[in-house]
Chain A
Amino acid sequence: MLELNSQNKPESSSKAIVAEHLCKVFNVTKGFLRRTRTRIIAVKDVSFEVDYGELFGLVGPNGAGKTTTIKMLTTMLIPTSGNATVLGYNVQKDITRVREKIGIVLGGERGLYTRVSAIDNLRYFADLYGVPPTIRDKRVKELLQFMGLWERARDRVETYSKGMKQRLHLARGLINDPQLIFLDEPTIGLDPEIAKDTRSMIRDLVRKGKTILLTTHYMFEADELCKRIAVIRGGEIVALDTPSGLKKYVMDTSVVEIEGFGITDKEVAKFREIPEVLAVSADLSENKQVLKIQTPKGSEIISEVQEILKNSRIYDLKTKEPTLEDAYLRLVEGSIK
């Protein structure tokens, strides 16, 4: 049985993470003879706190500033301004102490030595994290067993499936028995079943007393896992609440959901022009397209919908209560101030 430290005792702070007015600005220089400098504000005045043992979600669309925030908290980036402490240690001054105490799992298939075995990957990182030699091999075995990889532990990682690689990522993130784990989009690119397994493992870690900061752009995932969620848009936190608290943002609206075929971007744009429409999300990539329209008018808008989509095929059209995903959509589209 995996014996990770289940007692998350605060080191010198009552909060696992304290971020105060974090900002990150990148200066991008282009050209050789005519050099132009562009200032990109990736994160702007981000503040939040995470309790010990909490699973805190940071959600937002691509490029919103989630990963930049995580990188500042994990000492990978130096903030342009603002302060942050992790487990009571300052991320700019106590770099080594912070690194010793945390685990980082970045999403995707990369980030592993694919030409060597899972055991060699974990042993290597155990040494880099200063795991005492007396417990290193025992912990490697326990982690691989916990992740269901022990049977294939000696095989090269390049022969692993996506899901196995993701589980190995998680094992690597736990190699130093961290008190606090940063999970950056851990289910991105995984098929639904593997993503479900990964979420189940994340829940297990919280049960073992770990504190987790999770970034994702899947709202249902944040809803299922997180105690509190911060929604980040354009580098700023636009809402921070419990999942049920966030749902209150859209209590005054209904969602008209349309399943159809042949819906174009131009038609989606027309919906956005209707004054009573607060947010529109469209998944037009599959054969069965799904369009969701948030509006306080509810079913009163159906005739307008049918008029705009007169050249498309509509399979189904229904009015629903808004979900957390609808709240998220309105927050990231900027119609909630």
Chain B
Amino acid sequence: MPPQTLRVLYSAFRMAMLHWFADPQWVIPNVIAPFVFTFVALTLFKEASGSFGLYAVLGGGMMGMWGNTLYASGFAIDFERWQGTLEEVVAAPSNLLHVISGRSVSNALFGLTNMVAILLIAALAFRIPLGIANPILFALSIVLTLLSVSALGLIFASSFVLTRSAQVLTNGLEFPIYVISGSMFPIALLPFWVHPAAYILGPTWGIDAIRLATSPQYASQSFWAGTDVNVAIALNLAMTLLITLAYVAIAAFLFKKVETKSRREGTLVQA
């Protein structure tokens, strides 16, 4: 990656971080909501056997990460509009996709703090056994899932260049993607016709890798049941990476298209 692209990514990442810290009230709904969700799930099913606790904990974390990224990636464009900086940012010679990518990774990283908080609450308050079987693969799975979620957020962000009504799209898709990706329960429980949608979501494979790295007992419910756990994790990570790269390619194409369209129709500011 060219050094200038890395600088733009870092600078956008840093600017998003500065805004998060400057305005902490943003964090509250994104931290509290998944925490409450996990709390309720664990309280309702604390007597349930099997890996429900694991699903609830990791599901709550994923919810925080996805919710943050989807909301904030889309909001990144609207945020610039509200500040009146969208034109200034677009007028700069840097690629808008790189600017929003930096912000998107920053937002997903903030979402990750939810997962850490939820893991701690689950372990300390609910005494859910969360011994991570393979910490290195767990960390790698988290990073790739984070990037995959960010890349998916980028695709949605492109729609915000055209119209601020895209908020409806992100609001409407937050929960379906959360459910389809198998964050809370195995996708095997979902109707068969939903499965293809699950397979084209990078986070679906990332979550499978996270669960396998956390608990080998989960192997029987994995996509790769019957395969060696480490091989299954590697396969999941490869799928996550592949789909993430496809998302980035789609986002790059969409950003170019929508930017040209907005420059032709003059919708950059008033959309």
- A: which residues have CB within 8 A of B? 24, 26-27, 68, 71, 74-78, 96, 99-100, 104, 106, 108, 110-116, 120, 123-125, 127-130, 133, 156, 172
Contact = CB atoms under 8 A, between A and B. Distances in A.
A172 B83 CA distance: 15
B93 A115 contact: no
Interface string B67-83: 00000000000000001
B85 A75 contact: no
Given A116-B15, A127-B11, A78 B264 contact: yes
B47 interface: no
B91 interface: yes
Nearest to B85: A111
A124 B15 contact: yes
A115 B88 contact: no
Given A26-B265, A77-B263, A110 B15 contact: no
Contacts of A71: 266
B88 A120 contact: no
6 contacts: A24-B266, A76-B87, A77-B266, A115-B19, A120-B15, A129-B94
Contacts of A112: 83-85
Interface in B1-17: 4, 7-8, 10-12, 14-15
A29 to B, nearest CB: 10
B265 A99 contact: no
Contacts of A75: 91, 263
Nearest to A106: B87
A129 B260 CA distance: 20
A249 to B, nearest CB: 32
B83 A110 contact: yes
B22 interface: yes
Contacts of A127: 7-8, 10-11, 94
B78 to A, nearest CB: 14
Contact of B19 (A26, A111, A116, A133): A116
A76 B94 contact: no
